[in-house]
Amino acid sequence: MALILAGCGGGSSNSQFATDNASVACADGTVASYVGTSCTQMPAVFQWTSYSCTSTPSSICAALGTNGSNIKMSMDPNGQHTILVGSSQLWNVTAGQSVDVVISGTIYGASTNNNWPHFGNLPGQTGDGTEDNKTTVLCGTDCVALNGVSDIPCNQNSPIAYCIDQNTIDPYLTELAKFHPATSDHPYPFTVEIKLNGGITGTATLQSVGIHL
């Protein structure tokens, strides 16, 4: 997957982590402030390593900021073990536009992975537009269910709940991936990927996605 240059809204991993302390609780910030740090939502311990963005037009990635500085990482006041990843609609697209954001890192201590997309007052897609939020834990032979992947795509053929705001996580529990917890000396790589494509005549929107690891 191509990287947009840092000055155009993309980024890369830092060789030295500004924070590498499993006792530091995850807190409100941005993707840019997270990259190069570690934090915990016990028992899960995250190390956030890189960010990339590709888009058509390139101005979408630029609006998301260098290293994702305009993408918020927020603690969910209504749920434990949840980080809300949101862009204040900066990644929403119309016909002919697309964007692909990938946030990467490693994790240990967690045993499940589940996404919860939030659409607000807008539908996830119209026409031939598509929205896809996918979190992948590369658990290999230690995967128990769904190969470590929680994927909730919104397209013309998706269940309605995958494209309209839901009050509970229940419609997404079928996408609950399970795996044996990794240890601190052998953490799993993971990615959070958010893709929106307006197609030829459509739109795609996402307010935020709650990642539950």
* Domain assignment present for 18: yes
The pLDDT value given to residue 15: 35
Closest to 62 in 3D by CA, of 107, 4, 2: 4
What pLDDT is stored for residue 55 in this prediction?
A: 98
Confidence of residue 16 (pLDDT cuts 50, 70, 90): very low
Note the pLDDT of residue 21. 52
Give the model confidence (pLDDT) of 33-85 as tens digits: 999 999 999 999 999 999 999 999 999 999 999 999 999 999 998 877 899 99
- Torsion (CA) 75, 46, 85, 172 in degrees, nearest 10: -90
Q: pLDDT for 156-180, tens place per residue?
A: 999 999 999 999 999 999 999 999 9
Does residue 94 form part of some domain?
yes
- For 106-162, write each residue's pLDDT tens digit: 999 999 999 999 999 999 999 999 999 999 999 999 999 999 999 999 999 999 999
| pTM score | 0.90
Is 124 among the domain residues?
A: yes
Evaluate if residue 14 carries a pLDDT over 60. no
Q: How many domains does the chain have?
A: 1
Look at residue 98 and tell me if it is in a domain: yes
Q: What is the pLDDT of residues 17-32, one digit of tens each?
A: 433 456 799 999 999 9
pLDDT surpasses 70 at 195: yes
Give, in order, the Cα–Cα distances in Å from 187 to each of 66, 108, 112, 182, 195: 27, 5, 14, 5, 26
- Whose tokens are 């536009």? That residue is 97
In a domain, 1, yes or no: no
Burial 134-169 (b: 16+ CB within 10 A, else e): bbbbbbeeebeebebbbebbbbeebeeebbeebeeb
Residue 9 reports pLDDT greater than 70: no
- Give me the domain span that covers residue 10: 6-212
Residue type, 98: S
| 151 in any annotated domain | yes
In a domain? residue 107: yes
